[in-house]
Copies of this chain bind each other. A is one copy, B any other.
Amino acid sequence: MWHCQGVTRPAPVPGAVRQGSLRELNLAVVLGRIAAAPRPPSRADVAASTGLTRATVSAVVDDLIAGRLVAESDPAPRNGAGRPARGLVLAGSGPAGLGLEINVDYLAACVVDLAGEVRHHTVRRADLRPVSPADALARLVALAAEARADAERQGLDLAGVALAVPGLVGDAGLVRLAPNLGWRDVAVPELLAGHPPLAGPVPGVPPLVVDNEANLAAVGELHADPTGPASFLHVSGEVGIGAGIVLDGALFRGVRGWSGEIGHIPVQPQGRPCRCGGRGCLEQYAGQEAVLAAAGLDRADLPADTAAARLADLAAAGHPAALAALAEAGQALGVAVAGVVNLLDLDTVVLGGGYALLTPWLRPAVLAEVSRRVLTAGWAPVTVRPSTLGPEAAVVGAAGSVVRRIVAEPVGWLTRQS
C-alpha cells in the first residue's frame, strides 16, 4: 500500500529491537553523532561526545553495524603513540532513499545512500503537459523500477520514496494544483495503487511522501551545505518558479503547507496573463519559457533540461539577445526578491534549478534591484549565490529526506532487519 503524507510522525514500532525508549534514544544519538562528525569518529570519540559509557557505545555500534547502518573505515594514520582507532562512518550499503521528480518537461529518479551519496540518477526528457497524470506516473514508475534494480545491484535496499511535484500538495498525497502541468486534484496514491510498491516497508518510514519540488530542493540544499546559513530563500527556476523558505535550519511551510509560491508574486500587476489566472506573475517574466522567448529561442527545438545550459552557453559567448533576456529576467526576479527581503529580512538568496547555471547573468540585476529597493541594503548586505545541487536539488533532496528519517530514528529499520 502506498502511504502518503507531508510530515510524518512514525507509528509505534513492535518487535525485538524495541526494548524501551532508552535503547531507541541511544541508537539515534550514536548514529546522529557518527553522521554529524566532520571526520570518522572512533567508538571512544563517540563516547566522549555523547557522555555514554564506552561499553554502551560499543554495544550500540555493534547493532548499527549488524543492521548495515554503520561501517568501519580503514584506520587513519595518526601522529603520536598508540594504535590508530578505526573510524565509524555511515554505511554505503544498507538502506537508501528513492527520490522521484515529475516536472513540466522531465521525469527524474535518484537513489541516495545513508551517507548522502548519490548512487543512481536518471533524467528522462518529455513534455508532460499533454500526458495524463496516470500516464505520467506510469512512466515514472518505470523509471523508479530501473533505479530500484540498480540500487539492489549495489547492495542497497530502498527504504522509502519521496516524490517531488511542481505544485501544491495537500493531505494524503493529493496534488491540489500544479498549474504548469495542468494538474488539479490529482490523487497520486490512488493512481499508483495498481503498481507494485518500490520501497519498504520499513516501520517509521512512509513508503511514499509527495511534496512540492521547491520545498524538497530547499531542504536538499540545506543538507548539501552544512556550513551554509541556517536561514535562506531558495528559488528554483524552471518553467515554473518556486521557493523554499528555510528559517533556523527548518523549512517554513506556512499555515496550511503551501508557502513558497514566489513565481506568482506580482511583478507587473497589470502585465502578462499567467496560467494561474492572475496577471504579471514573476513566472511570466523570469520563468524558463519567458526567458527563451525573450532570447529568441524556440522552446520546441530545445530539450527542456538543456534550456538553461544552452542559455548559459549563449550568454558566455556574448549573445546579445540571451544577455538581454537574462538581464530582464534578473530584474523581474530582483523585484520579487527585494519584496521578500523587505518582508522577511533574509540575508541569503540561493538560485537553484535552472537558475543555478544562469547565476552569473542573473545575479547583477537581482543585486541591483535589492540594492535599490531594500530598506536595509545600505548596511545589511544580501548574498545571492547559485545552489550547490543545481537542477538536481529537488530529486536529490527528495531521496535524502528518506535517509535522514532513518538516521533520525534508526530503530524502525533495525526492527525490519531482525
Contact = CB atoms under 8 A, between A and B. Distances in A.
Interface string A259-294: 111101111110000001111010000000000000
A222 interface: no
- Copies of this protein in the complex: 2
Contacts of A265: 338-339, 342-343
Given A260-B343, A343-B245, A276 B335 contact: no
B345 A254 contact: yes
Q: Which residue of A256, A261, A343, A345 has the most chain B CB atoms within 10 A of its CB atom?
A: A343
A272 to B, nearest CB: 13
A343 B277 contact: no
Contact of A177 (B177, B269, B339, B376): B376
Contacts of A375: 168, 177, 179, 258, 261, 264, 276
Q: Which residue of A259, A268, A376, A379 has the most chain B CB atoms within 10 A of its CB atom?
A: A376
Contacts of A231: 255
A354 B296 CA distance: 49
Nearest to A179: B375
Nearest to A259: B345
B344 A254 contact: yes
A179 B374 CA distance: 12
A247 B252 CA distance: 10
Nearest to A233: B343
A24 B354 CA distance: 55
Interface string A360-383: 000000000000111110111000
A297 to B, nearest CB: 25
Given A269-B335, A343-B343, A344-B259, A264 B168 contact: no
Contacts of A344: 245, 252, 254, 259
A179 B376 CA distance: 11
A340 interface: yes
B376 A342 contact: no
B176 A278 contact: no
16 contacts: A168-B375, A176-B379, A177-B378, A231-B255, A253-B345, A254-B345, A255-B345, A256-B347, A260-B343, A261-B376, A262-B343, A266-B338, A276-B373, A276-B375, A278-B373, A340-B343
